[in-house]
Structure 1
């Protein structure tokens, strides 16, 4: 029963931009630093399991999350899409090609604050974070 219970827990993959080395409680050296981890829902509210590939799986207290929404459009891709759309489908293709080529690209980031329950030290992780990930992490608190 324990395996299935663990398999059903929600997981959020993190792309860590900064602060990942503070998660390394094992003391093992990582040549490039910690750039990815997985937050796993715990049985206790406010607790998460942080799984670091090839290193450890530790329990942390989640203290908060701050989300910085950011998106950008590529003018070059919009122009390229407009040209291809014009060639393929005429004037209406210009509009469709520009819309498809210039879609928004999500560049949002967040700070996730974790507390080490043993030392009570706080760690701030700067991560790449979509709105969906932000909402999922928020439910862990």
Structure 2
């Protein structure tokens, strides 16, 4: 495989942050997910770490979760209120208390006689936007 083939392969991978779950992989780490010849391939750079036959994939779900930092909302309100008055207090609270996306992509695969859950989040974009890209690899 030449340089251009490797580059093309890298560009077609879905970048995810692997959080853990598979007995043969340590985490967390940033991986590229791709599919080829009926297999889901987990890559570290251009090196395949694990190949999972698509027939061994039991399920794929997006577990949505988020949280809002009360401490940051309070700090934003105090700073906004001190700098600009009442309207800044509201704007500071809204800006400081933005939601953080804690969603997780759960890929359930056969591993011997058991099923294991592999956990991923979006590497460079939010997880909800990464999920459809991962789902597309499984078809």
Q: TM-score, normalised by structure 1?
A: 0.72
Instruction: Detail structure 1 runs of 4+ shifted over 4 Å in the superposition.
Output: 119-122
Tell me which protein shows more helix as a share of its residues: 2
Name the counterpart of 2:31. Answer: 38
Alignment of structure 1 residues 9-24 onto 2, 5 Å: 9-16=12-19, 18-20=20-22, 22-24=23-25
The gaps in structure 2 that reach 5 residues or longer are: none
RMSD: 2.8
Cα pair distance change 1:4/1:12, threshold 3 Å: closer
Report the Cα distance in structure 2 between the residues aligned to 1:5 and 1:122, rounded to whole angstroms: 33
Q: TM-score, normalised by structure 2?
A: 0.73
How far did residue 51 of structure 1 move? 2.3
Alpha carbons 1:61, 1:114 under 8 Å: kept: no
Alignment of structure 1 residues 1-141 onto 2, 5 Å: 1-16=4-19, 18-20=20-22, 22-24=23-25, 33-44=26-37, 47-52=39-44, 57-62=49-54, 63=57, 64-115=59-110, 122-128=115-121, 130-141=127-138
Number of residue pairs matched? 127
How far did residue 102 of structure 1 move? 0.6
